[in-house]
């Protein structure tokens, strides 16, 4: 039996930060990707298998944690959401 934990959730925060960074890195490298490709890439290529990533979890995760960095639209041909980075506001285009 392990002793009761009194920590401040450092491992949980570190996992959340890593997941945020990895999702942002993937979407910035592959704009126009779906939650299915994000989940497959992170769980297989990045070895984040203990996170239990599924396309549904990614679909809920992005609007909750990355709404200031990523945007989405609905691809009617494929029948799924497609994610891309939010373009930066350039003052030169105004």
For 25-79, write each residue's pLDDT tens digit: 999 999 999 999 999 898 888 777 666 788 999 999 999 999 999 999 999 998 8
Give the domain CATH number at 51: 1.10.10
CA separation, residue 15 to residues 8, 30, 69 (Å): 14, 22, 19
Boundaries of domain holding 64? 16-88
Number of separate domains in the chain = 1
Is position 30 within any domain? yes
- pTM for the complete prediction? 0.78
Would you report the helix, strand and coil content of the chain in percent, each value rounded to 5? 50, 15, 35
pLDDT value for 15: 85
CA 28-32-76 angle, to 5 degrees, is 160
Give Rg (Cα) of the chain: 16
């Amino acid at each position: 039996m392990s002793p009761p934990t009194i920590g401040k959730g450092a491992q949980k925060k570190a996992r959340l930060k890593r997941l945020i960074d990895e999702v942002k890195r993937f979407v910035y490298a592959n704009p126009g990707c779906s939650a299915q490709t994000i989940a497959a890439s992170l769980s297989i290529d990045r070895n984040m298998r203990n996170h239990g990533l599924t396309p549904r979890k990614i679909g809920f995760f992005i609007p909750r944690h990355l709404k200031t960095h990523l945007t989405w639209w609905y691809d009617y041909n494929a029948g799924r959401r497609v994610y891309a980075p939010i373009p930066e506001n350039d003052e030169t285009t105004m």
